Structure 1
Amino acid sequence: MFSGFVDGRDGIIAADKLLFNGIHECLIWKVFARRGLGFNANQGSSNSTVDGISDFNTKPACIKEIKVVKTATPLVNATDEINYTIKVTNDKDAVSTNIQINDNIPVGTTYVAGFGSTPTSVSGNTISFKIAQLGVNESATINYKVITNSNKSIRTFFDDMEKGQDNWEFNSLNDSLGVFEIQQTEKKSGNFAWRAPNLKTAQDQILQFFPDIQVPSTNPVMSFWHLYNTDAGFDGGFIQISTDGGTKWTDLGTNIFRNNYRGKINYSTFGIPNIAAWWGNSNGWIQTFVDLSAYVGQKVNIRFRFGSNNGTGGYGWFIDDVELFEMLNYNSEVCVTTAEGDKVCTIVPEKGTIVKPGLNTDIKDLENSSTIAIYPNPTGSFINIELPTASNNDLNINILDLNGRTVLTKSFIRNQQLIPLDVSMLPAGCYFVKVKLNDSILVNKFIKN
């Protein structure tokens, strides 16, 4: 076992406390922070030089000011409660008095009385608390909760991989043996998920959603669940987007706002300088969220890319439950003032609380219904709907979006078994065809490019 850089930093700080009563601690923190060994740095394994996480922030107590941190329940269902925690810290060298905390209750939520800290007032959407004083290096914590309304995020695309390779293309960019594969060993939900095997040889493989995706017009977000365990610092994956049909690809790392890349990956893996990726061990399934607001209204292609170099292999990268939705989130600003003239404000990081999108009951029932044949699928303009038998009665064919809303209805006379239908007017996305045939409800899904 060897000492790492963070171990060395901590040893120097400990020595300063022992020999000089810690009078140089903030200077030491400042020097190390400039070199990426700041307060939140993580050296990883002390036996590796490539699996650390850099940080350029000094110790918070070395910045002599009032600080406030606000946290919230990160993910809820509609009508769930959100728990808020506000922590105020006095890192100044003097006592702070008459500390006023004013927080905004998000629109669409309602304050729940009788829980947590007692406010001094609740007026409209403003909730207020007061702290008489905070001594040097003292903290105080405020808690309260709200309940959300029935609104939720609107799902526009979802694939839980239960239909196997449908919707996806996969191949190797360097003609290696390793390619993404559908498997059943590791999955977030259901029975199937994708896996990029982490071989001991050089790989560069992609998993791409092959129809164009129409990015929603309001707060578009992509999320997916993934699990990874790879050769730390050398083998890993990242996510890319294209707006020109796949000619040029852009890394989405700067758009990720929850569970971002682990850190930079070695140049030998992809031959791309300073690229970051997910590598090492995720310690189970994690959900990553990507802000697509820069691509509102555009048709895009999205792909996952995994690579490794020659050397040590690993378990791989697993991907499940890919989703695109119009995000509904709750976030608001809290401000803290003191009698000494301090004022500091903040919001909850990572876009606050996100309301989960979800299929309504009608859609869940549809997915469990008997199916009909639809082709071509995906399609750009027309589909052919092939029924298992001719209808004894006139037909009504309904096209539903992923939220169960009927977006197109057509009527056809009886005794037809193969029915052409123009869907060119529909936006790109996934849809259900619902047909009542004699005494049965028949359903299948198709993709409109």
Structure 2
Amino acid sequence: MGLEQAKNYSCEDVYGSLQLFELQKPQLEKLALWSLFADLEGPLIPVLSRMERAGIEVDMDLLSALSAEFAEKLEKLKGEIYALAGEEFNINSTQQLGEILFEKLKLPRGRKTKTGYSTDVKVLERLAAQHELPGLILAYRNLAKLKSTYIDKLARLRHPDTGRIHTSFNQCGTATGRLSSSNPNLQNIPVRSEEGQRIRSAFVAAGGCLLLSGDYSQIDLRVLAHYSRDEALLEAFRNGEDIHRRTAAEIFFVSPELITPEMRRVAKTINFGIVYGMSSYGLASQLQISRKEAQTFIDRYFEHYAGVRKFMEEIIARAHEQGYVTTLLGRRRQLPEINSRNRTKREFAERTAINTPIQGTAADIIKLAMLRVDRELREQKLAARMILQIHDELVLEVPKKELDVTRDLLQQAMETVMELAVPLSVNLTVSQNLGKA
């Protein structure tokens, strides 16, 4: 592009932006959204720009080794799948897989699609309890996705000049206000699986630096406690209790000292499921228990956390009346189907009405924290820099000599950025890479 063309393009871009600004500012003010834009989303733009330019270093040798290892594992899984199926077939073909599962192996059929019977994750998870093959298919799909989406793609996205990965952060990619990222999408790397952690281990600190991570602890449940003002939730968080252990004690009617890891897992699923408006059917499906047992757990939960039930009822009623819900900072989400005659659409909108204020407020909190951390790093003239935001986690690249002061800065900034009815809590991790033990 020549200078004259660049001039015209730039001027048109500026003029178009000005027209949009003049058109949208009155609308934002009318909807009480101007402050959210002017004080949060607008100031966040240069912060995200600096993070994108900074990028993060990747260990190419580890990526290459992982690619070869995952390819070998996929071949082994493929052989086991063919042996169980009794023939070779296209594992990625829904139609061919359906023929193997439902016609040859005679497994129970689920929901029918235009191309045959569904073989999605939920169907395979259900069938895995009856036959070994669906479980192997799930393992194959997960490993293949990790290899193609992350391991192989990361190697291609490494910038030739900086030697680092430069993701793009998107402020408008989600309905709740959470940041998303693309090229690569760093929000979706599984953190609970061994394979996901090994991929995260390929993201490393530059020479002479360490990665400092601050992760909000159970922020969605803390926001729920703030909204609901439920006395049991407030007490648990103010006393620093393990909220999942406490919930387990209530729904299983046992002393907290007798809670097993499996009981705590069930309670954790319920705690977070409530935030998403999970029904007894959804809980039963996730925990692989009967719907009656799932409903019993939910009833016991609401008996103990009565304030949460009241909050959910009130937020749904308000959504029916207003047609939208908001976060603590006023971020608004329209719910056009909240009064739909279609029960499925209406109930989905009601679940969204419960979840959005909680997840949206959590998103607002971490964005406020990003603004504060960025400002304080620059005010104190520290070389440490914020490089990633993944869900409820902020990642900084810190020179080793600045670690102590930056660690204190990060914890203080994240835990005091917004005052809730319960304290915000941040877990700090220092390591050479993003993988966690």
Q: Would you call these one fold, judging by a TM-score over 0.5?
A: no
Q: TM-score, normalised by structure 1?
A: 0.25
Larger helix fraction of residues:
2
Larger strand fraction of residues:
1
Whose radius of gyration is greater, 1 or 2?
1
Q: Between the two structures, name the one with larger relative contact order (CA 8 Å, sep ≥ 6).
A: 2
